[in-house]
Structure 1
Amino acid sequence: MLMYKNILVVLDAEDDEHKALSRGLHLASLLSAQLTLFVSIYDFSYEMTTMLSGEEREQMRDSLIHERRHWVQGLLKEREVENLDVNVEVVWHHRPFEAIIRCALEHNHDLIIKGAKKHGALQSVLFTPTDWHLLRKAPCQVLLVKEHAWPEQGGRVLAAVHAATTSEDHKSLNKKVIQSAYAMSEKLKASLHLINSYPSAPSAIAIEIPDFDTYQYQESVRSYHEEEIKKLTEELHADAYELHLEEGMPEDRIPALAEEIDAGLVVLGTVGRTGISAALLGNTAEHVIGRLNCDLLALKPEGFNCPLG
């Protein structure tokens, strides 16, 4: 599990630190994986220039692609890549997320690495960022990188699961999350932490039912989640972890715990959505990403069908 062999790194000229590149080179070195450095460029003015012929516009696009490829090669010269298998791909495309996904499909990449950017809630609703598109539609796992560095050893990987789910798809995704987080923690020489949040008792229930024992209810819910996660980890033979049972919503508890334990990486499952539900509701991964101060590894359920495929 998690033995990535074909990694796609999305480069961003506006990211002076090139976090995705650094992370991709690190993983490729650890896993002896092939690395493709990917850039999508587009300039609308080139398409609207009526004074140029189609051939001249094509030549201008090719010139820009050549310049950007040269820029990528310059980035590589600044880093140690002699023992790595690194390819460079630069494409002209007006929708970056489509270009990324098509490249991943065409070349069977098993991981996409991209630097994450924060977006305001309103902007995310009206103008869905590339990060969100990748979380919903990418055909493989997605690693969104932030500024938090990965220590050479002694770091922490946090896996987020919902062990009490009754959905078979989500149960399968739970297993995938734990297996991937466990494998990543081993490679990074990091400790593994599991978080499972559970809901609080409705505040109005004690008023509506005077004899209702809120404390006993919460203890029962907690015990149930604890038993379910023990069953899950025993089935996977995963015993080297620290469990965090947290009362509250996952989009609140996951970022809070990640900051508390200074996690370098959070691993969780994400499901694809389209239409109005994708625009307005999102899912746990999408609510969490903007609030994390560390990397996010998002996994898809088994059998996920990419909308572009």
Structure 2
Amino acid sequence: MKPRSVLIPVDLLPNSERVVARTALLPLAENARVTLLHVIPKLRPRQTRQRIEGDAHKALDALAGKLARKLPGNARLKTVVAAGIPAAEIARLAKSVKAELIVMGRVGRRALREHFIGSTAERVIRQVRLPVLVVRLPSRGPYQRPLFALDDDETALEVLSFGLRMLPDLRKPLPLVHAYDPPIHGFVYPSLTPEQSWEYRRHHRQQAIHRMAMLLSSARLSGAVPGLEEVRWRHDVRYGSPRRVIPQAVARKRADLLVLGTHGRAGVAHALLGTVAGDVLREVPCDVLVVPPRQDAETASR
């Protein structure tokens, strides 16, 4: 099912044009609701805040005009200016409009701050538990070089299901990358011979390939992922951490869209461990669609 309600938070910087242009190219449902949001800081005096709010409304209306010309005629478009902390306001409005997808930008790097706190996009991903498309590339047309990063866990089916909805053509083979990282490494246990280490790694690679094949086969047989039966996959199963393997695959494939899942850690766990999705988001130059597990999305909509 195509998204019926899309939320587009924009910071009104030049990258906002890319976000709006990308949204216009997405396959949306009939009569889809599209909401443009800008969050201003809570300022005093009131007169200053009113001026800023007026400027924001004018800029949003200009973006909305450009988007309206590209959206299907039956799409419903509105603009919202809110005041507060961006991630919190985005999460609040996403729940209010029953968003099924958030499309937002991410520009620049604030390395030290993002290492400990995360970008606004990362904070939104952790808070909303909804699919979030983070746009970085200029939008010249529908995605042509997507890459799916799958793990053999509860996120896989949701990653496949939502990711395939974002693509216009499922007839050509799609690349799939999976990272496997066996618990025993030769450099940690030096008594293992190179041959034993290689054999151990080969055994785990075969197991990883088998798990991916079984996952896709089960999904096809169950009909859990619409459109999956049309897809031919090009498997790329690599040894190493997902934080290293996925960005390398993005570079090799020259991907314009990376689709991956997240468990969305929050609080202390995130501060200490981070998330694979957050780390990859900082590294790759392409657009990234981050998809949460189904139960998280359902919980967030209550």
Q: Taking structure 1 as the reference length, what is the TM-score of the superposition?
A: 0.83
| Pairing partner for 2:156 from 171, 174, 199 | 174
The whole-number CA distance in structure 1 between the counterparts of 2:30 and 2:96 is: 22
Match in the other structure for 1:296: 288
Q: Given residue 268 of structure 1, which amino acid in structure 2 is its aligned partner? A: L
> What is the CA distance between 1:183 and its match in structure 2?
2.8
What does 1:112-191 align with in structure 2 at a 5 Å threshold? 112-147=102-137, 149=139, 151-152=141-142, 155-163=144-152, 171-186=153-168, 191=173
Unaligned runs of 5+ in 1: 50-56, 164-170
Post-superposition offset of 1:65? 2.2
Structure-2 change in CA distance of 1:8 and 1:131 (3 Å): same
Contact 1:4 1:110 in 2 (8 A): yes
Question: What's the CA shift string for 1:140-171, capped at 9, x where partnerless?
Answer: 11111112546447x121111122xxxxxxx3
Q: Deviations over 1:30-85 (max 9, x none)?
A: 866221111111153x2xx4xxxxxxx2x553443233112211223345247232
- Answer yes or no: is the 8 Å Cα contact 2:129–2:264 preserved in 1: no
Instruction: Determine helix, strand or coil for the equivalent of 1:197.
Output: strand
C-alpha offsets along residues 163-216 of structure 1, whole Å, 9 cap, x if unaligned?
A: 2xxxxxxx3211111222233234587752211111265133662234961221
Mapped partners of 2:281, 2:246: distance in 1? 10
Determine if the alignment matches structure 1 residue 209 to structure 2 residue 192.
yes
Q: In structure 2, do the counterparts of structure 1 residues 215 and 229 end up closer, same or farther at CA, with 3 Å as the change threshold?
A: same
Task: Work out which of the residue numbers 102, 110, 114 in structure 1 matches 2:100.
Answer: 110
Query: Hey, what's the Cα distance between the residues in 2 that align with 1:147 and 1:211?
Result: 43
Residue 278 (structure 2) aligns with: 286
8 Å Cα contact 1:28-1:34 kept in structure 2: no
CA deviations over 1:216-236 (Å, ceiling 9, x no partner): 112111110001100111112
Conservation of the 8 A alpha-carbon contact between 2:262 and 2:293: yes
Cα 1:190–1:282, aligned 2, differ >3 Å: closer, same or farther?
A: farther
TM-score by length of 2: 0.85
CA distance, structure 1, for counterparts of residue 279 and residue 89 of structure 2: 25
What percentage of residue pairs aligned between the two structures are identical? 22
8 Å CA contact 2:9, 2:103 repeated in 1: yes
Are 1:199 and 2:177 an aligned pair? no
Structure (1 or 2) with the larger CA radius of gyration? 1
Give, in angstroms, the shift of residue 16 of structure 1.
4.8
Contact map agreement 1:105 1:139 (CA 8 A) in 2: no
Q: Return closer, same or farther for 1:21/1:184 CA change in 2, 3 Å cut-off.
A: same
Q: Kindly report the root-mean-square deviation, in angstroms, between the aligned alpha carbons of the 2 structures.
A: 2.6
- Match status 1:87 vs 2:86: no
Q: Residue 67 in 1 paired to residue 66 in 2?
A: no
Displacement of 1:109 in angstroms is: 0.5
Supply the AA of the counterpart residue of 1:66.
Answer: G
- Residue 190 of structure 2 aligns to a residue in which SS? helix
Aligned residues: 287
Task: Report the CA distance shift for 1:261/1:30 in structure 2 as closer, same or farther (over 3 A).
Answer: farther
Q: Residue 182 of structure 1 contacts residue 192 of structure 1 at CA under 8 Å; is this kept in 2?
A: no
Q: Which residue number corresponds to residue 222 of structure 1?
A: 205
For 2:292 and 2:142, the matched residues in 1 are separated by 28
